[in-house]
Chains A and B, each alone.
Chain A
Amino acid sequence: MVRLEKGKFDDFIRSLAEDYIVYAAVTTGGKSSFKVVASAGEIDEGRLLTDRSPKEIFFPHSEVLFEYDEDGIRETEKAGKPIAVWGLRGCDVKSLAMLDKVFGTARQMPDNEMFEDPYWKRKYDNSLIFGLACNEPRSSCFCNWLGGGPHSEDASDIFVIDAGDVFLMQPVSDKGKAFIGKMTDAAGASAQDEKRAAGASVAKASGADEKKAAELASGARAMMAEPPDLDGLDERLKGIFHEDIWEEMSAKCVNCGACAFVCSTCHCFDVQDEGKGGKGKRIRIWDSCMFPIFTREASGHNPRPLSRDRFKQRVMHKYSYFVDNYGESLCTGCGRCVIVCPVGVDIREVIKRVLSFEGKGAR
């Protein structure tokens, strides 16, 4: 573990921005999201959870797949610096790792790169992720239901703890170790290499630092309520697929799709052509299983005609289908859907209702 004094944070970000495109939480007009920054002053450092999910760094709301004209198709992606993300909360770090299972791998055709998503991989594979510990989780947080925690290092390259006047950094992955290694080397070389001089602010963490980190971690954990046992939730959901309970659970839902848009793991998209004459571009754009047109076929047939069917699809995908395919739930408990839902659907209540249901089909 190393320590970075906050007085040197701006130098650190500026130095990082020389080698990386740096994303961090930025608040504009009262709404926060991850944006490209060049200095520490732009960063909303105290922000616990951004309003928009950071999935858009690697999977933008709208992304050009290629452009076309009379001469044919042209890919537009230019090679550039790798991406570094500063200050991703543990839930969001985990979300990206889950999305990497979808986009970065080929579940049915391993080793066949035709089934990998090049747009995702180009950005995510070389990225450097700075996870940031949550010292004070909020009431909508439920990462601890899903195997996470406010101080979870999982899937971070470097895990950062805000310890007051200093950031404590723990390298986690090989990439993270190499990065911290380079920083501490630079600190040793002092001002010889001016470009790396910012690294001089990094020092080995002291015993007091480590103690402080442990205190913050246990304090944060204590702030979160004891989670229910979700073991077997995936099978239980399948068992009650045809029960009326869905009518009751989805009664409030207006299928607006806000949950899916702020969700850090929802990854459904549409592909559309935009253009005039022979010139234009093919884009992919976020979509949601909440919308009836999502599955409506040209014939008019819709396999999920009712609001209830679509509500059920979203819950099933997150807590049952994804478990079948990838061995974990497609939810990290970030709580954005709880915060944003205009009619007060709380996914935690839905899960609890499923767990307590004792009708037919429940086991």
Chain B
Amino acid sequence: MSNTYIPVNMRVETIAVEDKEKALRTFDLVFVDEADGKRFTYMPGQFCEFSLLGKGESPFGIASSPTETDFLRFTVNRTGSVTNEIHYLREGDTVGIRGPLGNWYPVEKFKGGNVVIIGGGFAFTTLRSLIVYMLEHRQDYGDLTVIYGARNPDLFLYKDELAQWQKRDDLTLHLTIDKPVEGWTGMTGFVPAVVRELAPSTENAWVVVCGPPIMIKFTLPVLAELRFPDARVYTSLERRMKCGIGKCGRCNIGSKYICIDGPVFSMEELGEIPETP
């Protein structure tokens, strides 16, 4: 019998430091056993339990896209005991991964539509996966608009990639920071205000919004104002998790478990749940 509590071994191939304070690091992992890699198929929006023996596990959204077959990417913000230990990893170290877990962004449904992606802070990980995936299948989608906010220019993830996306004519990227900073040429202001200002068209459009709870809380009313129907607005939720397979009872909102019913939900689905997401 397969045992989903047993992590598979992955090697840390490269580590990239994302910010000056070194609180955000991106780890590209490769499977130690190729057979594990063949079995591991995923979609944008799914997550894994990242395991360090003796230290524990933490769930992270997968930041790579399934179209990037050479590595699995996670970006980790140093906040708790496990993430602190993850930051001590060096290239060549072995880690454990369980997954892929959870559902994914409905990329099939999005086909033929315009997609507006709204992200904030270091929650941009699975949004990167989604964007890379859609750019690889560019002909399947209409206009792609990305609105990405961070506290300051240093706190954007994947800065080199963002610079490349800026140059593309098949993707519109709006970067915004909270307060003006010298030399910043992008937008200024919190994500909800920027969304209101840009007022993306609702026509044949789908929205994906993912970021810190406070950003989501204030962005959703703006999307409602702009008349995006709840069924066309998706978000990805986070909760403390352990098992990742709907057994340990920790990550529910209402009768839904983030780990198996989510993490991706439409606002329509969330509207039926009495507990606040």
Contact = CB atoms under 8 A, between A and B. Distances in A.
A269 B5 CA distance: 13
A108 B2 contact: no
Contacts of A324: 254-255
Given A68-B53, A118-B3, A271 B255 contact: no
Contacts, number: 120
Interface stretch (A34-42, A138-146, A290-298, A332-340): A290-298
A45 B192 CA distance: 66
B16 to A, nearest CB: 22
Contact of A75 (B6, B80, B261): B6
A61 to B, nearest CB: 14
A282 B249 contact: no
Interface string B238-277: 1110110111111011110000110000000000001110
Contact of B238 (A117, A297, A325): A297
Contact of A241 (B2, B213, B275): B275
Range for the number of chain A residues in contact with chain B: 35 or more
Contacts of B243: 269, 271, 284
Range for the number of chain B residues in contact with chain A: 35 or more
A109 B2 CA distance: 14
A324 B254 CA distance: 10
Contacts of A122: 1
Contacts of A287: 248-250
A114 interface: yes
A241 B249 contact: no
Given A282-B53, A295-B239, A66 B246 contact: no
A118 B5 CA distance: 9
B83 interface: yes
A289 B253 CA distance: 13
Contacts of B186: none
B106 interface: no
Contacts of B250: 268, 287, 294-295
| Majority secondary structure of chain B interface residues (helix, strand, loop or mixed) | loop
Given A282-B53, A297-B239, A321-B255, A238 B247 contact: no
A114 B9 CA distance: 17
A271 B98 CA distance: 14
Contact of B249 (A269, A275, A278, A296): A269
A83 to B, nearest CB: 17
B92 interface: no
A350 to B, nearest CB: 17
A71 to B, nearest CB: 11
Interface string A296-334: 111101010000000001001100111011000000000
A65 B5 contact: yes
Nearest to B4: A114
B7 interface: yes
12 contacts: A73-B96, A115-B4, A117-B245, A118-B2, A269-B242, A273-B53, A273-B55, A287-B249, A297-B238, A298-B80, A324-B254, A325-B255
Interface of B: 1-7, 9, 53-58, 79-80, 83, 96, 213, 238-240, 242-243, 245-250, 252-255, 260-261, 274-276
